[in-house]
Amino acid sequence: MTKLSVNINKIATLRNARGGNIPNLLKVAIDIERFGAQGITVHPRPDERHITYKDVYELKKCLSTELNIEGNPQEKKFIDLVLNVKPHQVTLVPDNSQQITSNHGWNTLTHATYLKDTIALFKSHNIRTSIFVDADLAMIEGAELAGTDSIELYTEEYARQFEINKELAVLPYVKASILAQQLKLVVNAGHDLNLQNLKYFKQKLTSLSEVSIGHALISDSLYFGLENTVQLYLRQLV
């Protein structure tokens, strides 16, 4: 079964909009674990507009499943956070402080030396590493050369094309997954996966290890309830 890691950034966004501690981020994270998710993902930004750095330290103390921290390691503050918290996994994402959300993967060839050095640093602290990449075979080969343990396929293009032609939409990701397997990389995926397109994606990528889903899952929970929504997503991954 492919693991579900729930990104809780949107819970923090809702809390921060009003101030105070409603909803309680830590309780929501613990409940998501209790409802069956196998991991929690956070993506702190330098301006802390949703997840704060304090949140990450507190989450590490109370979670019983895997903690995945996403972010751009070009920010020294982010590197220090990861080295201090020591999450189970760090996912390197090439976003900048002005982006609303991630919108592309790394060019693993242009940034080869930087990625290799950064990954070596994290792995020296026994932190599993993943590189956020597009479904581009050259970028996946570059990820392997950088020494990463896994890749996270950026799936916005798949989600955008799914309603038009799902077979063509998933094909680049199937090819990417096959190559990653050959290179002995673990395959994760995330971005715009939802209840409509997730099951088909999982069926086509037989080696899919983990998906990270936040916006769609939290939005669906407004209609279906959080516990039921987590269960609905888990059923897509069987």
| Domain boundaries, given as residue ranges, for the chain | 3-236
CA quadruple 99, 219, 51, 3: dihedral sign: negative
Name every residue whose Cβ is closer than 8 Å to that of residue 65 and which is 6 or more positions away in sequence. 33, 37, 38, 39, 40
125 is catalytic: no
* Tens-binned pLDDT, residue by residue, of the chain (238 aa): 899 999 999 999 999 999 999 999 999 999 999 999 999 999 999 889 999 999 999 999 999 999 999 999 988 899 999 999 999 999 999 976 555 455 578 999 999 999 999 999 999 999 999 999 999 999 999 999 999 999 999 999 999 999 999 999 999 999 999 999 999 999 999 999 999 999 999 999 999 999 999 999 999 999 999 999 999 999 999 9
CATH match for 3-236 among 3.20.20.70, 3.40.50.280, 3.20.20.150, 3.90.1150.10: 3.20.20.70
- How far is the C-alpha of 223 from the C-alpha of 24, rounded, in Å? 19
104 is catalytic: no
Residue-level pLDDT at 219: 97
**Token output for 75:** 């920010």
Residue-level pLDDT at 1: 86
Active-site choice (33, 66, 70, 152): 70
The letter for the amino acid at 196 is Q
Active-site choice (33, 66, 152, 191): 191
Active-site choice (43, 50, 66, 152): 43
Q: What is the pTM of this model?
A: 0.94
Residue-level pLDDT at 21: 96
The answer to whether residues 46 and 79 touch, using CB atoms and an 8 Å cutoff, is no
Q: 3-class SS at 129?
A: strand
191 is catalytic: yes
Q: In this structure, which long-range contacts are made by residues 122-128, counting pairs with CB atoms below 8 Å and at least 24 apart in sequence? A: 122/82, 122/83, 122/90, 123/147, 123/149, 125/83, 125/86, 126/86, 127/82, 127/83, 127/86, 127/87, 127/88, 127/89, 127/90, 128/88, 128/89, 128/90
